[in-house]
């Protein structure tokens, strides 16, 4: 028996990296997963490999979110969980002086607005069924001030929206929590370049980067009934990086 047996989970950004790891973990634990992404070829491949379904989803589109929620309810009858995993980095890592407004807006649209739209789309079904778990993937950048003002702003927003949603939805037995990964072995880390990666990992007290599965296992716990009294929490998965 898997701890997600019988549950239907929507995972955004599920085509690769951390999202793909979460798709595989959830499936192994007994869940039916609706894999969503804008990377159609990769998303379909992961869905086919795991026996799930793939839907194209631009998380900044309310209409596409509505379609995903409607499909899931029509196909499976309920929505038990959502992992708001899709996100983008701010590649120039600029601050308030050097960040172009179009860059700022693009990061906010995906990371912040996309997370809001996901919660907005699934909450009515979860309220109706009096059960559900939403897991929002933030970052250690949502816990402290760092460079990359747009990315930091978006991840702080995810943290704050999580707490607001947890307070709002708690009476309906809908739990909402955020996960705050540190240096995790995904494209977002690898894109930093070798020197930056080595510098970042040198700041981690555990002296290593984390794996997508280590974040994914935390998400699986929060989706499961084992976390039935955990809501509004922020769980840091970073090898103690935030202590530095």
Residue 219: pLDDT band by 50, 70, 90 thresholds?
Answer: very high
pLDDT of 45 above 90: yes
In a domain, 2, yes or no: no
In a domain, 240, yes or no: no
CA atoms within 13 A on the CB side of 170: 12
Q: Residues 105-147: pLDDT tens digits?
A: 999 999 999 999 999 999 999 999 999 999 999 999 999 988 8
In a domain, 244, yes or no: no
Per-residue pLDDT, 190: 67
Number of H helices, E strands in the chain: 9, 7
Q: Percent of the chain having pLDDT more than 90? A: 85
Q: How many angstroms separate the CA atoms of 142 and 151, rounded?
A: 9
- Residue 164 contacts by C-beta under 8 Å, 6 or more apart in sequence? none
In a domain, 239, yes or no: no
Mean pLDDT of 162-186: 96
CA R_g for the chain: 17
Per-residue pLDDT, 189: 66
Question: Distance from CA of residue 213 to its chain's centroid?
Answer: 13
Note down the domain range covering 51.
8-232
In a domain, 18, yes or no: yes
Q: Please state the domain count of the chain.
A: 1
The residues annotated with a catalytic role in the active site are: 151
State the CATH number of the domain containing residue 219. Answer: 3.40.50.720
In a domain, 94, yes or no: yes
In a domain, 204, yes or no: yes
pLDDT of 94 above 80: yes
In a domain, 27, yes or no: yes
pTM exceeds cut of 0.75: yes
């Amino acid at each position: 028996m898997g701890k997600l047996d019988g549950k239907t989970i929507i995972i955004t950004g599920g085509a690769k990296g951390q999202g793909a790891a979460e798709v595989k973990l959830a499936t192994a634990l007994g869940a039916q997963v609706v894999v969503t992404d804008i990377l159609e070829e990769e998303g379909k491949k992961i869905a086919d490999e795991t026996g799930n379904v793939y839907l194209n989803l631009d998380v900044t589109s309310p209409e596409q979110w509505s379609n995903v929620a409607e499909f899931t309810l029509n196909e499976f009858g309920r929505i038990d969980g959502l992992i708001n995993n899709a996100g983008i980095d701010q590649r120039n890592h600029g601050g308030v002086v050097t960040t172009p407004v179009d860059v700022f807006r693009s990061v906010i649209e995906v990371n912040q607005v996309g997370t809001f739209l996901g919660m907005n789309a699934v909450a009515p079904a979860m309220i109706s069924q009096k059960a559900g778990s939403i897991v929002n993937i933030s970052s250690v950048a949502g816990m402290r001030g760092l460079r990359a003002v747009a990315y930091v702003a978006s991840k702080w927003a995810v943290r704050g929206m999580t707490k607001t949603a947890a307070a709002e939805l708690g009476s309906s037995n809908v739990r909402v929590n955020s996960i705050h990964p540190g240096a995790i072995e995904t494209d977002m880390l690898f894109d930093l370049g070798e020197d930056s990666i080595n510098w970042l990992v040198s700041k981690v007290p555990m002296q290593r980067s984390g794996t997508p599965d280590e974040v994914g296992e935390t998400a699986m716990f929060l989706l499961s009934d084992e976390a039935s009294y955990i809501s509004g929490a922020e769980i840091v998965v970073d090898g103690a990086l935030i202590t530095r």
